[in-house]
Structure 1
Amino acid sequence: MPLSQDPHVNEVAADTVSTLNKLFGEHAGFRAAHARGVLLNGTFTPTPKAAELSSAPHFNASSTPVTARFSSSTGLPKIPDNDPSAEPRGFAVRFDLGPHQHTDIIGHSTDAFPTANGEDFLAFFKAVIASPPGTPSPTPVEQFLGAHPAALAFVTTPKPHPLSFGTESFFALNAFKFTSASGASRFGRYTWVPKAGVQHFDEAGAASLGADYLFDELVTRLGSGPVEYELWLQLAEDGDVTDNVTVKWPAERERVLLGTVSLDKIAEDGAQAAKHIIFDPIPRVQGVEASADPILEMRAAVYLISGKKRRAAPALEA
């Protein structure tokens, strides 16, 4: 996973990591965003339709081992599960294709993203920092939201607390190009759908949640069987925008089931493994290519810069 060949992308990415550290504090050994999380192991099993759409190895093998991470938002490693700022939740899945070979899917639980490029993403967080309590209105963040409708839509989208990590949908919002063994190509967007069904707490139920309810519930749920997710792909049609993460496609676009991931255990030595692993939003595998969406390269650089800092920190306590 290399840094971008564009110095501007790397500069903005480094500034983004620094800004997130200012916003949430710098916590050695943890991610600048989605710091609190848990790593799991499991297996992905594709459908025949997956092989029709893509020549990627995990879509053509009978099954592929995976490493997945559920997480809460912010750069706070101890953010309570019942804190509204812990939404949206994150879900990253690594398909382990062989020694030093892998490809990842990264999503979060809100079907929206605040900005179409890294520069605006950085400006958003800087506006938040410049708008502490007591700042006269319109605050910098109010001004930013007023000038960026996608960010306003993201901020105001309801984000209820899930009953479980295993009852939440996750959206990998960027478009990717899928190419079959015969050379046919289609663009698509991933969604993870829980086999247990989407279930959230209402406002009254959320008030009674504990600070560790999600992570505790996950351990209990795994004691009764695996946490399972279906991987669905929404297919683009001619004229659909594929290079702007903030633009949705019509709901009636065809959706196909690519497979199921079954997570059956918490990863051994999970804290240290989570510190080491750097998920990559760019597929970097045959049969699945990044679209021209500029935020993909920016996100990859942010994750790599943050990950290198995390790896260089002292060992985490067990």
Structure 2
Amino acid sequence: MISRRNALLGLVAIGGAGTVSVGGLAYAGGRFPADRLTPADFADRFEEVYGKHTGFRRNHAKGVSVSGYFTANGAGAEVSRASVFASGRTPVTGRFSLSGGLPDAPDATPTVRGLALLFHLPDGEQWRTAMINLPVFLDRSPEGFFARMLAAKPLPGTGKPDPEKMAAFLARHPETAKAMAIVKKHPPTSGFDDSTYNGLNAFRCTNDAGDTVPVRWTLKPMQPVRPGSTTAPPGRDHLFDALIANISQEPLRWRLLLTVGRAGDPTDDATRPWPAGRRTIDAGTLTIDSVQTEAAGNARDINFDPLILPDGISASDDPLLSARSAVYSQSFTRRSGEPKTPSPVDVAKGQ
């Protein structure tokens, strides 16, 4: 029989670079008790793990800005009165990224991919959401995320986490071990364009009749899905280069799917998927038709705070939501006051 220790050590390898920053959208922080963790603690830990890179995000540092639009078909209005779900087109500013705090890290297929969006709604209203290409998040609480970052810090000699520290962490956090097992069953696709992006956290949607239901959202690619490469393609920025080339040839599209939860479905635990067979509403199509090097005035300077929500969408009881909001703010404040250097991903070179 395989020992518990060996089983946990096996989980350390799941996702390659993802064990360090899997789903790393700074899902940590929030309204902490005065004698416990603070948003600054999390920003400091990102700098401890990845080093300090002035002017860049503390996590998901490597990325490009994109723009496009969302075309709603009206179906989402069944569960939410948010104007974004009324039939019509909404301008969108977005950002594709890789998890981790290194703005010039070589692209690796297992590294967690992110897509953050800002929907520009009428009358100055906004909806901001940050998603990743994992089916579940690896941590249930801010404290778990904080501990995992240190346990998964790469060793200088190997570039991989200390297996003993990671195994000890997983023994203390069985919910993370279960989530990693789920992630292992969903290997990454070939690139940004054919990835499915999940919001992971639950939210509450309220319609015109005042009915409220729990909802999770997903962006499902309309491009053909291809398996990820098991060997690293040439080029430090091969994932971004492919994304840039694809958008320059034709727009990329995803369907926005709203999964409606039922009574008893967990809304406070992003490590647990909802049961299969939950009703899904196809709310419309996201189109990305332009990509830009990060610079002043585009997504580089946007804080994709998950609690900036339109009327008709509200936060659930998931403790990670207020946590994410607080740490995003801390990271944004730090980088806003720092000198900027050019983004390592130059869109002009990839076209």
TM-score (norm 2): 0.81
How big is the shift at 1:266? 1.3
In the alignment, which of 77, 88, 96 is matched to residue 51 of structure 1?
A: 77
The answer to which of 271-280 and 43-52 deviates more is 271-280
Q: 1:165 to 1:138 in 2, by over 3 A?
A: closer
Query: Whole-Å Cα distance in 2 between the matches of residues 55 and 97 of structure 1?
Result: 13
Contact 1:167 1:200 in 2 (8 A): no
Aligned-partner SS, 2:321: helix
Contact 1:131 1:140 in 2 (8 A): no
Query: Whole-Å Cα distance in 2 between the matches of residues 185 and 97 of structure 1?
Result: 21
Pairing 1:173-192 to 2, within 5 Å after superposition: 173-192=200-219
Query: Whole-Å Cα distance in 2 between the matches of residues 274 and 136 of structure 1?
Result: 32
Query: Whole-Å Cα distance in 2 between the matches of residues 52 and 310 of structure 1?
Result: 40
Query: Whole-Å Cα distance in 2 between the matches of residues 10 and 51 of structure 1?
Result: 41
Task: Give per-residue Cα distances to partners, 1:56-113, cap 9 Å, x unaligned.
Answer: 11112511100111101110101111364xx111111110125753111211111121
Query: Whole-Å Cα distance in 2 between the matches of residues 4 and 14 of structure 1?
Result: 10
The answer to which of 142-151 and 178-187 deviates more is 142-151
Aligned-partner SS, 2:336: helix
Once the two structures are aligned, what percentage of the paired residues are identical? 33
Structure 1: segments with no counterpart, 5+ residues? none
Q: Root-mean-square deviation (CA), in Å?
A: 2.6
Aligned-partner SS, 1:119: helix
Query: Whole-Å Cα distance in 2 between the matches of residues 275 and 199 of structure 1?
Result: 29
| 2:131 aligned with 1:107 | yes
Contact 1:12 1:118 in 2 (8 A): no
Task: Give per-residue Cα distances to partners, 1:108-156, cap 9 Å, x unaligned.
Answer: 1111211111111111113334977699987332201122123224445
How big is the shift at 1:25? 0.6
Q: What letter corresponds to residue 285 of structure 2 in structure 1?
A: T
Q: Hey, what does 2:223 align to over in structure 1? A: 196
Q: What letter corresponds to residue 112 of structure 1 in structure 2?
A: V
Q: Hey, what does 1:118 align to over in structure 2? A: 142
TM-score (norm 1): 0.89
Query: Whole-Å Cα distance in 1 between the matches of residues 289 and 229 of structure 2?
Result: 28
Q: Hey, what does 1:315 align to over in structure 2? A: 340
Q: Hey, what does 1:304 align to over in structure 2? A: 329
Q: Hey, what does 2:67 align to over in structure 1? A: 41
Pairing 1:95-244 to 2, within 5 Å after superposition: 95-98=119-122, 101-129=125-153, 139-155=164-180, 157-158=183-184, 160-203=187-230, 206-244=231-269
| 2:303 aligned with 1:278 | yes
In the alignment, which of 8, 19, 41 is matched to residue 45 of structure 2?
A: 19
Contact 1:37 1:71 in 2 (8 A): yes
Q: 1:133 to 1:67 in 2, by over 3 A?
A: same
Query: Whole-Å Cα distance in 2 between the matches of residues 9 and 285 of structure 1?
Result: 33
Query: Whole-Å Cα distance in 1 between the matches of residues 239 and 216 of structure 2?
Result: 27
Q: Hey, what does 1:292 align to over in structure 2? A: 317
Q: What letter corresponds to residue 196 of structure 1 in structure 2?
A: Q
Q: 1:9 to 1:37 in 2, by over 3 A?
A: farther
Q: What letter corresponds to residue 48 of structure 1 in structure 2?
A: G
Aligned-partner SS, 2:304: coil
| 2:122 aligned with 1:68 | no
Contact 2:54 2:338 in 1 (8 A): yes
Structure 2: segments with no counterpart, 5+ residues? 1-28, 344-351
Q: Hey, what does 1:250 align to over in structure 2? A: 275
Query: Whole-Å Cα distance in 2 between the matches of residues 99 and 31 of structure 1?
Result: 29
Contact 2:148 2:169 in 1 (8 A): yes
Query: Whole-Å Cα distance in 2 between the matches of residues 141 and 299 of structure 1?
Result: 23
Contact 2:204 2:215 in 1 (8 A): yes
Pairing 1:1-12 to 2, within 5 Å after superposition: 8=34, 11-12=37-38
| 2:23 aligned with 1:28 | no
